[in-house]
Structure 1
């Protein structure tokens, strides 16, 4: 594993203070610096909350609007299931002290095939999240500066397309960096950003004339349940980083407590945003709630600008593992891995731009990521790996039945959610 990948695992979503990370050949992950138990616990909780906090907060009002008020139950159900799956990851790692990453768990359970499957799902999820960042930037900048566009080589680029290109040009140098430490500190503001966005939306509703009595809300809509579940699943897609978070802890027995704190606080934040957004805009709420906010209000601009900053900082941290994975598979005779990294990083950004311009549908793309990738990586795979590593599949009991039930539920979400999201994307092309 390269230095940049170590930087990613230790800083972007976790910002953990570990010294060395296990690579594919099996070096053992070393623990955190010596801290007091209380300090280590609070830091780990912060890192866990930051891992779970992301752009999903922008889409939960749309998720609630899709399924109606009763779909809020599904948010809590998804939180409970994904919390349980985080504990399953801990149990897998407790069975073998050499395990230090999510692909390691896949390898322990199903050999090289398991490692490959886990790696594919994790990297594909990171790739599409990076794409969604560019779409998000384009949509929100276009709202702030409407009716902007220009001609390039005889082609007219509208405001949204132009801002996608500008955002890509802005993040491109960060992809070339060897040291991502500065960006990791900015991306650690994910917790703060979520709080600012939530407070700003509340301020818009309470004091800027929107109000919280929208009459367009509904109690239940069966047609939108798959969309709701997919977006809720996307909110809890941090499981690939939990193994590194776990190995970085001094007192690993506190991991369940950390997960309880993280999932409780993040679920409260997501539920609060969903309720506020749905009360304010009803069925008219958009896939990003910032697109509903009146831009002439200061509070709205604070929410939108906060939304814009965090993805810019996190973009390089998200795509770095993909670049490093590709670079590490280059033949040993490759003359300059540094030059290869620059080329691969540039190519990845260009491909992200192409996808963002061809599929400029933030909500539908998040549906696809949540249904196909997040549900698989955060629900189905942890249960399958635990069943195999623990040997529970050999004996039938209550826990085995629960695990099988969760796997079947996850598969249903994957199939129905993926079908619906692909259908929606094709319908908008």
Structure 2
């Protein structure tokens, strides 16, 4: 479930971007450098200068573009303001002269050295007006009313937008202070066309850590029950097969990405393969997966505290407390939430370690590794075998993020090694949790192995409280991160997102104060929705089985 850290939005967004420091635009050689001031190219740094309006810069740099009044004396002329009507030149001459001068200026500003107009760089005009989307480069927001073409805007607006964009990039501005600009570079594809692609920054160890972070989550707590439903033979075969198949399909994603350097997200692949409907279906699947993950974490939080403090509060009251704590956490910036995902990973490691220690400390069954419980080679009830498939599949659903991880690699050729190490390590950890949990409790294993630890006597009390604290920390660190893509999607649909234009006329021109109120309401109602679903569906194992069979299998295999 920590894979949601990579879902910056279920509907891909268009982030700010700058050139990689070791590359300039392939086609732009006339001194125009997006993301850098002109002074930087000449002196190596950007001195502080007073800001001058674009119109004054234009008049000072090109005085000849002003309208001149005919003079009776040869060579005498008087410059007039750019917008002042000229009584001698006629009404029709002014627009033509101004457009000609402005076109020449823009041609000098945005010209490239490719030699032909058809092979021009994607940076020849302001990127935010003409370049394809970076994340979701095939029309991410087009159905929500954002800019799709530069043709509908005047060249004057494009020139002004270019200058504003350069100033923002030079200042290092970041949207919302949460998403840093992406480093990009221009590459030439097999057809000789210059396209924009992401400049990878992650090394092989960083890629392995990020991929492991995606796969490891609380889904491993329900694996002992999955093995119980399937029996030792069928269960371990299903778990190994799930790891092998998803590892293979993760490598296939990289091969698909190599066909087009501009592809970045899973939604991009769906779009070019099956069209717009596939993108919508992918967004729905991601939303359902994140929703199920958040609900499962609330259920896990309430079940664990209810078992540790039996009789203090009801299970529903613990869920309400969890929701109340989550509401303020839901307003933290994304950069803080990404850090908390690492805490969740450490908690998962610690939980598995505590389970093993408890099993070695307790000398007798139930709950002992020294005296294992009764288990079965084949399922005791074959009707439970389909349920085991979903539980054993749930830890392997990271394919929604793997395309992004692949694009962020400094050496993409090492992606196969990263996938092999990541899935091998994750399989060993998941198999350890499944085997240890089933050996300790056998037929009595519960939907989450931590519930057995908390309800069984004979374990050190300190470890019980530590285990409960770790289980409670995981939802508080992961739910705000998992909920962020859902919130962003809702904001895009209603036109409240910073990069989307509202479809409803009532939202156009709305004050920032009212928009802020609506965003607060959306964040609160999202947590309330999680709470209501968690109360209606209180079974942790059923939620995890649904995630594994209906969602993870669909995204990762089909």
TM-score, normalized by length of structure 1? 0.78
Q: Which moved more, 1:117-126 or 1:339-348?
A: 339-348
The aligned runs of 1:182-261 (5 Å cut-off) are 182-209=336-363, 210-212=367-369, 213-221=371-379, 222-261=382-421
| CA distance in structure 2 between the partners assigned to 1:114 and 1:325 by the alignment | 17
* Aligned counterpart for 1:30 among listed residues 167, 180, 198: 198
| CA distance in structure 1 between the partners assigned to 2:197 and 2:298 by the alignment | 33
| CA distance in structure 2 between the partners assigned to 1:283 and 1:327 by the alignment | 46
Q: 2:343 touches 2:477 (CA, 8 Å); kept in 1? A: no
Partner of 1:354: 532
Q: 1:324 touches 1:341 (CA, 8 Å); kept in 2? A: no
Q: Cα deviations across residues 24-78 of structure 1 (Å, max 9, x unaligned)?
A: 6469663344x7xxxx111110111010000111011111111111111110001
- The one of the two structures with greater contact order (alpha-carbon pairs below 8 A, sep at least 6) is 1
Partner of 2:492: 328
| CA distance in structure 2 between the partners assigned to 1:22 and 1:29 by the alignment | 10
* Aligned counterpart for 1:293 among listed residues 441, 453, 468: 453
1:308 CA displacement: 1.8
Q: Cα RMSD (Å) of the superposition? A: 2.2
Q: Which moved more, 1:342-351 or 1:136-145?
A: 342-351
Partner of 1:91: 255
1:92 CA displacement: 1.3
Partner of 2:98: none
* Aligned counterpart for 2:289 among listed residues 125, 128, 131: 125
Partner of 2:66: none
* Aligned counterpart for 2:300 among listed residues 136, 147, 150: 136
Change (3 A) 1:361 1:50: same
* Matching of residue 312 in structure 1 with residue 476 in structure 2: yes
Partner of 2:211: 48
1:263 CA displacement: 0.4
Secondary structure of the equivalent of 1:188? helix
Work out the number of aligned pairs and report it: 354
Q: 2:330 touches 2:523 (CA, 8 Å); kept in 1? A: yes
Q: 1:142 touches 1:160 (CA, 8 Å); kept in 2? A: yes
1:8 CA displacement: 4.7
The structure richer in helix per residue is 1
Partner of 2:232: 69
1:262 CA displacement: 0.7
Q: 1:180 touches 1:317 (CA, 8 Å); kept in 2? A: yes
Change (3 A) 1:215 1:23: closer
The aligned runs of 1:109-188 (5 Å cut-off) are 109-149=273-313, 159-177=314-332, 179-188=333-342
Unaligned runs of 5+ in 2: 10-14, 18-133, 141-183, 185-195, 496-501
Partner of 1:342: 520
Q: 1:203 touches 1:299 (CA, 8 Å); kept in 2? A: no
